Amino acid sequence: MESDNAQLIIVYGRRRVGKTFLINEFFSNKFAFKLTGTYGQDKTVQLQNFITELNRKTHKKYKTPSDWYQAFELMRDYLESLEDDKKQVVFFDEMPWLDNQKSEFLPAFEWFWNDWLSTRHNLVFIVCGSATSWMDEKIANNKGGLFNRHTCRLFLKPFKLFEVEKFLKKKRINWSQYDITRCYMIMGGIPYYLSLLDNRLSLAQNVDNLFFSNDGELWDEFDHLYKTLFSNSDVYIRVVEALNKKKSGLSRNEIIRETGLPTNGHLSKVLNNLILSGFVRAYEQYNKKKKDTVYQLADYYTAFYLRFIKTHHGKDEHFWSNSGENASIKAWEGLTFEQVCKDHVSQIKRKLGISGVLTEVSTWSVKSDDKTGKTGAQIDMLIDRKDLVVDLCEIKFSIKEYEITKDYDLKLRNKLGSFLEVTNCRKTVQLIMITTYGVKRNMYSSVFTNQVILEDLFIEA
């Protein structure tokens, strides 16, 4: 806003993360011109919406233009009539929806920016969209007329745990950090989902109310989410369904086997788009080649929908309240807590005192071998540090202090031995425990060099 040059600002991120809210709040919903794309509508409808907004701003009665080139000419006339010494903010929301088949929207916008908009010293043009892959390819990394034209790129990420805690307190929801974490496992840090929580209800009651009741606000969010983000959503759903079956993740070849999708460039594009949108995380395995990259489902709502809502919605409106001690839910919490930790590596590094140390986070596993008698081993999260230390992180979600038993101690030592033998690691290797309330002190607890507890994940890092 303080620049003397024309600004093309890109704001993108996952659907429901609060992009439009952020922009509207900052500018108090006052724009020289604002247009919102309409999902699934053709060029005629989009242009009609454009001219309706322009007529409202100009108090004129322009006819609907036949194409976007004509539309932008009319917009130029309008913007030229505004005060030259005052900032003029233009906001195009859900821009990917304007660029539908045969619309020629993008070429027209490229021409408009290069021909005139970029010369306006007082112009701030904001483009926004939830289809992150489109925003990245067509605007941020455009290889044509918009190449390197944007002046600012803002990728809006979901809340971390400490931000969720602050947000809930604003809503007068005073839950324990344990319950906030359980809520995070379901909704992630998505502000819209969190805004629907009712402070008069418990966590379990809120989950039933939003996901399992017949008129729940979010039970059918899954279909809307994928259909509005991806043009061939069925393929994307097949990939996330396959990833959901194995929480530790799948390699590219394993995804091909699970989905039956052809091994071509299209799968690479699908995976890349899911990563850009924050639905999938790509992890390189320690000491292995790039082709062994593991892909993990990273979107909490997607995982929760596929695990519980898809199967149980409509059968029991109080499913979550009635399943508190269910073994499958306890197992799901344990696996999902691993994901929470991977989303809070900065907080973990801060607790370990290595915030300033360059690190690489990966996973590691080795399969059992019947011929040699070697047992398989897996490390949930491995922090490879440039100070010649490797932290092997064990992650456990527990309602109380976690007790290290004799059997678990032996399992840990065998895992450590397997890692050193297979990787031939020459760095100092440490075992780190990440758990909710810490490790109970006993004769085996010293196996861990350090520990991270739940409240450490709530720090601002």
Place of tokens 């780190």: 432
Distance CA 239, CA 399 (A): 33
Amino acid at residue number 127: V
What's the average model confidence in pLDDT over 12-40?
A: 94
pLDDT of residue 371: 67
What's the average model confidence in pLDDT over 96-111?
A: 92
Q: Which of 265-269, 374-378, 388-392 has the highest mean pLDDT?
A: 388-392
Distance CA 320, CA 303 (A): 15
Distance CA 10, CA 204 (A): 38
Distance CA 198, CA 200 (A): 5
Q: pLDDT band at 431, cuts 50/70/90?
A: very high
pLDDT of residue 247: 84
DSSP 360-374: EEEEEEE--BTTTTB
pLDDT at residue 369 is higher than 80? no
Give the helix/strand (H/E) hosting 27: none
pLDDT of residue 133: 84
Q: pLDDT band at 373, cuts 50/70/90?
A: low
Would you call 295 helix, strand, or coil by DSSP?
strand
43-100, pLDDT tens digit by residue?
999 999 999 999 999 999 999 999 999 999 999 999 999 998 899 999 999 999 999 8
* Domains annotated on the chain, with CATH: 7-155 (3.40.50.300), 161-219+313-338 (no CATH), 223-303 (1.10.10.10), 344-458 (3.40.1350)
167-224, pLDDT tens digit by residue?
999 999 999 999 999 999 999 999 999 999 999 999 999 999 999 998 899 988 999 9
Beta strands 389-396; 359-366: pairing state: unpaired
The residue ranges of DSSP E strands in 252-358, in sequence order, are 280-283, 294-297
Q: pLDDT band at 432, cuts 50/70/90?
A: very high
**Between helices 345-352 and 327-342, what is the axis angle to 10°?**
70
Q: Are 252 and 298 in contact (CB under 8 A)?
A: no
* Structure token pair of residue 2: 């303080």
Give the helix/strand (H/E) hosting 121: none
Angle at 136 between CA 134 and CA 141, to 5 degrees: 120
Angle at 440 between CA 436 and CA 446, to 5 degrees: 110
325-358, pLDDT tens digit by residue?
788 899 999 999 999 999 999 999 999 999 999 9
Residue 24: is it exposed, middle or buried by C-beta count within 10 angstroms (0-12/13-18/19+)?
middle
Average pLDDT, the chain: 93
Partners of residue 127 on adjacent β-strands: 10, 92
Nearest to 192 by CA among 225, 234, 233: 225
pLDDT of residue 50: 97
Which residues, 6+ apart, have CB-to-CB distance to 211 below 8 Å? 186, 218, 219, 304, 308, 309, 313, 320
Beta strands 294-297; 359-366: pairing state: unpaired
What's the average model confidence in pLDDT over 103-130?
A: 94
Q: Are 128 and 23 in contact (CB under 8 A)?
A: yes
* Structure token pair of residue 332: 């799901």
Give the helix/strand (H/E) hosting 18: none
Which residues, 6+ apart, have CB-to-CB distance to 305 below 8 Å? 221, 222
Beta strands 7-12; 123-129: pairing state: parallel
Q: Are 399 and 454 in contact (CB under 8 A)?
A: no
Q: Cα 449 from chain centroid?
A: 32
Beta strands 377-385; 389-396: pairing state: antiparallel
